[in-house]
Amino acid sequence: MVNSPSQTLAAEKQAERRERPRAGAEHAPALGASNLNPFGDLVTLQHLSARLAKSLKGVFETMLRRELRCFAEPIAVQRFADYRAERGVKPSAWQPLAMGTARARAQLVLGAGLVHEMLDAFFGGDGEAPQPLPTEFSPAAEALVQRLAASIAAPLDAAWEPIAPIAFKPVAANIAMPDLHGDEAVVVTRFGFAEGERKPVFVDLLYPVACLKPHGAALSPKVHGPVAEVEPQWRSGLTRAVMNVRFPIRSVLAEPVLPLGRLLELKEGDVIPIDFGPEVPVMVAARRLGTGQVGAANGRAAVRLTQLEPLSEEDFR
């Protein structure tokens, strides 16, 4: 069962815990070394993982039929070869998760002991893993891992929604082999699950750094400095200069459409019929100012404004 008192499983779960604390994000790598983490402190992703841990609690309680406490560990960024060396030789399940329509894939990693505990609980057992652990995953174990990945996809989507709308989906693969290269940099998010006060087991979710780069702006912390005071005379001069900028105003009465054959047949004296409604759009440069009615003023054609488009702060950026 989860956190079984058997010595083999206890040793395996204890081995899943890191022997050293996770290194923080490096802002300035050593000269000549590659920067594995281009995102800074990854505070945003750490908060995302904390929210995700609360959602995963229900998923794993359903799979293991136990009441669990769940938490997210500090995030680490490292090469996949180093991560795999840390896990040691114990068997693990590697389930890829597609990230949206792109070829980007995250990797769900579970220890073999946890997989077989869930498998035993699924078929009505007490959640006991067989001893010794099988060296290969059965088709039933592979199907269970895919089922777990499908259950995790919805909480993952919800956790990522404030940052980016990513649709996670499990991908059919050989779960005995990872879908990552040794030199590939990965962001390791680790989640702990424990029954009561017993030692936790850990589940890892790996994000390749290359797959997160499109979302780098949302993941990197934004530092806001103090707002500098603007010199009043300079502000007044700038305001006067801006107010004298001239913009072209135009109104499109009609935009008739003719086939190419008709255009080629046009000659002087031909009439192109046009039709327009009671109101026409009024444009300032390339933006819509509002709508108006066509008429006359002081003996000249004019447009009376009947509606103005609302302006927002974003219009001035």
pLDDT at 18: 46
pLDDT tens by residue, 35-78: 677 777 788 888 899 989 988 998 998 888 888 889 999 988 88
pLDDT at 150: 92
pLDDT at 29: 46
| 96-103, Cβ contacts within 8 angstroms, sequence gap of 24 or more | 96/170, 96/171, 96/173, 96/179, 97/149, 97/152, 97/153, 97/156, 97/168, 97/169, 97/170, 97/171, 98/168, 98/169, 98/170, 98/171, 99/166, 99/167, 99/168, 99/211, 100/166, 100/167, 101/167, 102/211
Low-confidence ranges of the chain (pLDDT < 50): 1-21, 23-33, 224
Q: Report the half-sphere exposure of 211 (CA within 13 A, side-chain side).
A: 21
Write down the pTM of the prediction: 0.58
List of E strands, the chain: 69-72, 76-79, 92-99, 105-111, 168-170, 185-194, 201-208, 249-251, 279-284, 287-297, 300-308
Task: Please say whether the beta carbons of 40 and 143 come within 8 A.
Answer: no
pLDDT at 222: 56
Mean confidence (pLDDT) of the chain:
81
Q: Residue 214 has what DSSP assignment?
A: G
